[in-house]
A and B are shown apart, each in its own frame.
Chain A
Amino acid sequence: MLNRILKFLIVPILLVGMGIGVVIYVVENPTDSMVARMLTYDFIISSMEKHLLMVFVSMLGAIAVGVPVGIMLSRPSFYYVGKVIENVVNVGQTVPSLAILALFFTFLGLGFNTAVFALWLYSILPILRNTFAGIMSVQPEVVESAKGMGMSPWRVLSKIELPIAYPIIIAGIRTAIVINVGTATLATFIGAGGLGDMIVTGISVRREMVTFTGAALSALLAILLDYIIGRIEKNLVRWS
């Protein structure tokens, strides 16, 4: 048991260690005074906090909406609505994330809430699509035999369809979270802060170290979250 926990933790510890290493290095070795002004422990930590908060709030909201709506659309009575929405969602995914941010800025104004809203909307798409696809992938004879043996529709959903669709749903969540961490760096354009502050400021004054710090931290964060969710999935699914 302890062995398994250690095995599970080794990659996260490595990633976090790399992040801390990067932060310490850049704060202690700034290339000039402008870099030093930006890259302080306080600023990096608060950027990271804001970034994480944006990602978590928007992801929780996206899961809370994407999964139930995906389930609803997979019900036979919604079949055609589901197909239509699936296509709308696929088209929606092609709208650049910056455009979505800009669009909602004009309605919702500046800052954190708008960024979370846009990230939420953008993250719903892969989760909803995968939930729908996951449930549709359950073989019809499996559902038929479950029904035929006397399972109620609710039991068929909770005991059969969802567990079988689970890996695909999780894959959608993983996709969403990786996109989400990356897209959240754009929130800086509407004043929501996060790791994007470093990336864009660094670009605008040509200080590569600042840009690198923001980019490296957001990449490490994406890998870390993806890994953790992947492990959780593996530990819960043993049958495939």
Chain B
Amino acid sequence: MIRLENLTKQFPGMDRLAVNKLNLEVGKGEVCVLVGPSGCGKTTTMKMINRLCEPTDGKIYVDGQDTSKMNPIKLRLDIGYVIQQIGLFPHMTINDNVATVPKEKKWPKEKIKKRTAELLELVGLDPREHGGRYPSGLSGGQQQRVGIARALAADPPIMLMDEPFAAVDRITRSRLQNEFLRLQRELNKTIIFVTHDIDEAIKMGDRIAVLREGKLIQYDEPGKILSEPAGDFVANLVGRNRSIKRLHLIRAHEILEEEHWGVPLDTPREEIKERIEESVISTVMVIDEKGYLKGIIGRRAIEEKEGEKAEDLMEEVPDNVTDDATLNDALSVMLEIGEGYVPVVDADGLFRGTLTLNTLLDQVRSDKSAK
């Protein structure tokens, strides 16, 4: 889908090459992460793909076509573009921001309206509540979502994303990352993703290209980057705690156990007591008839609270993760809420099971012994 051939860039007045004979091929539907320290040429490489920056030498092929022979405006209209600072247009409403490319492509008004609402919902914003607002009225995380919706507006086959989640806090970032990965499974875009954060690269990438001073050092799947780093530079970049990094590669749904300590709303007190004794986390999850997680009951609750049924005894769920979250995300949440477990729900909010600290430790151990 995208092929870089001997791609080279030298900025005027600079001796060093910003990008040095880079060869790279990204397949359709793949997420290719360019990672490396600042000044490694990752952003420059990305900007050459949509020709915001012209190569000094070498070629770029998109769908087999030489981009240097294409009209740059037309080229860009078919490539979604998200940057770190988002760059929302402050004088336009959220709707108008999202409609930018469809308007440039002169879509009919009705179609634009429909598409805008659809996209805002897709990135988790309410079109009626947020559509008429200006960017200054949105939180950082919401602005990022709008930035992504705007890039997706005309359904471009290719997306260029330059540190798209760098401007928000850690929790929001991991949530946005997970949502984006879920979207990507549906949309199947070809994505060039730039980051300096190796954790993000491992989590997001189908393949990772490690760059250093304009040169490609290693281009591999995340697992290979972790297990077989090509040389000291990549090894240092990945760091010493590779086992924990591997938790980025495993999704919650891959290791969910059958036993999840769920009980229905009308479970009597005595039965709950028994289940809690059996449970390794000394807690049961209360599930309603549709399968939604309604609350939890721990030892303390059953001793202190009155009532005979589960629904009277249950307490609020401290937090949960979605089943496409990585084990690393799950670990973060456990540390955050100070418990040895976290409930897992699917995209629709249905209860899927429970992850425990022990399960995570088993994963890390089995990885170590496998080596």
Contacts and interface: CB of A to CB of B under 8 A. Distances in A.
A/B: CB atoms within 8 Å of each other? yes
A226 to B, nearest CB: 23
A147 B52 contact: yes
B212 interface: no
A31 interface: no
Contacts of A145: 81, 83, 86-88, 147
Contact of B83 (A141, A152, A239): A141
Interface in A11-28: none
Q: Which of A147, A164, A238: most chain B CB closer than 10 A?
A: A147
A240 interface: yes
Contacts of B85: 139, 141
A150 B74 contact: yes
Q: Binding site of A, secondary structure by majority: helix, strand, loop or mixed?
A: helix
Interface in B82-110: 83-92, 100-101, 104
B266 to A, nearest CB: 53
A149 interface: yes
Nearest to B137: A239
A142 interface: yes
Q: Which of A145, A150, A160, A163: most chain B CB closer than 10 A?
A: A150
Contacts of B151: 149
Nearest to B82: A145
A160 B89 contact: yes
Contact of A148 (B50, B91, B134): B50
A150 B136 contact: no
A83 interface: no
Interface of A: 139, 141-152, 155, 160, 163-164, 166, 237-240
9 contacts: A139-B87, A142-B88, A145-B86, A147-B76, A150-B75, A151-B104, A152-B73, A160-B89, A240-B90
Interface of B: 50, 52, 73-79, 81, 83-92, 100-101, 104, 134, 136, 147, 150-151, 160
What 4 A-B pairs have minimum CB-CB distances, sorted nearest first?
Answer: A145-B87, A150-B76, A150-B77, A148-B81
